[in-house]
Amino acid sequence: MIQRTQQFCTFYVDDLFLGVDVQQIQEVIRYQAMTRVPLAPQAISGLINLRGQIVTAVDLRCRLGLPLRKSDETPMNVVLRDGDNVVSLLVDRIGDVLEVNEDLFELPPLTVRASVRGLVTGGYKLPARLLLILDTSKTLAECEPRCRLEPTLAS
């Protein structure tokens, strides 16, 4: 049987080791100054000017329901294409690009936290540790709106 492999760009978020298909990645860049977006979902950290393109930055820690980053830690941007849009995922640290064997794939184990489980397609049992594959379409689609000011009846 032919060994089929896939390449993933990997990164760390809190205690998680995550990967995204390299085909989706546009680039990885350092922390950029951001413009905050009031009223936006909490996971949206702001907007980045990436060479004239406006990129929405999604904080993965917030998105995955993990504890927030300490103020002195600056995240990295994993910039990926989302249809016509370009979106940046804020992660703690960048890992290597790994080529993994598809045989090692398994559906998300039940031990993974519920907030994370919904957003990963599964995991690869790598020798060192478990690589979880991020479901980017879900991650980017369902940013729950932050509880907004209730529409008042008047004024």
Partner 1 sequence: MDHLDAGLVSEFVVESQEGLANIERQMLAIEAGGAEVDLDLVNSVFRTMHTIKGTSGFLGLDRIGALAHGLEEVLNAMRNRELATSSELVTTILHSADFMKSLIDCVETSNEADITQYVASLQRLRATNGPSVTAPVAAPSKPIMAAPAAMPTAVAQDAATTETSKATLTFVDECFKNLDQMDRDLCALDQDPVNATLAPRIFRTMHTIKGGAGFLDFGSLELLAATAEELLAKLRDGKVALTDNISLSLFETIDKCREGLLILRATGSGSLDFDPAVAIKNLKNAQRQSLGETLAENEPDVEKKLPLGELLVLRGQTAPEDIAAALAAQKTGDTRPMGEILVQRGAAKTEDVVAALKSQETRGGPTSEGNIRVDVGLLDKLMTRVGELVLARNQIVQYTSRLDDPSFVRTAQRLNLITTELQESVMKTRMQPIGNVWGRFPRVVRDLSSQLGKQIRIELEGQDTELDKTIVEAIKDPLTHLVRNSVDHGIETPEVRVAAGKPAEGVLLLRAYHEGGQVNIEITDDGGGLNLERIRKKAIERGLLSADQAARMSDRDASQLIFSPGFSTAEKVTSVSGRGVGMDVVKTNIEQISGTIDLQSRLGHGTTIKIKIPLTLAIIPALVITNDGDRYAIPQVSLLELLRLDGADAQQKIERFQGAPVFRLRGKLLPLVYLSERLGISQPKTETSQGGSSEAANIVVLRANDRQFGLVVDKINDTEEIVVKPLSRQLKGLQEFAGATIMGDGAIALILDVMGLAVSAGLVGEMRDQQRVGSSGADKLDAEPIEALLVVDLGDSRRFALPTSMISRLEKVATSNIEYADGREVIQYRGAIMPLVRLSEVFGSEHDESEVAEELQIVVYAEDGYRCGLVVRRIVDIVETQLQPSTRSADDNLLGTAVIQQRVTDVLNLRRLARRRTTSKFSALASQS
User: DSSP string covering 15-41, please?
Assistant: TEEEEEEGGGEEEEE-----B--TTS-
Alpha helices per DSSP H over the chain: 60-63, 114-117, 136-141
Minimum Å distance from CB 8 to partner 1?
23
String of contacts with partner 1 for each residue 94-133, x by CB under 8 A: ----------------------------------------
Which of 85, 122, 129, 138 binds partner 1 (CB under 8 A)? It is: 85
Which of 23, 31, 54, 73 binds partner 1 (CB under 8 A)? It is: 54
Q: How many Å apart are CA 45 and CA 34, to the nearest integer?
A: 8
Q: Nearest CA to 77 among 9, 152, 17?
A: 9
Q: Please report, as ranges, the residues that interact with partner 1 according to CB under 8 A.
A: 33, 35-41, 44, 47-49, 52, 54-56, 58, 82, 85, 87, 140-141, 143, 145, 148-155
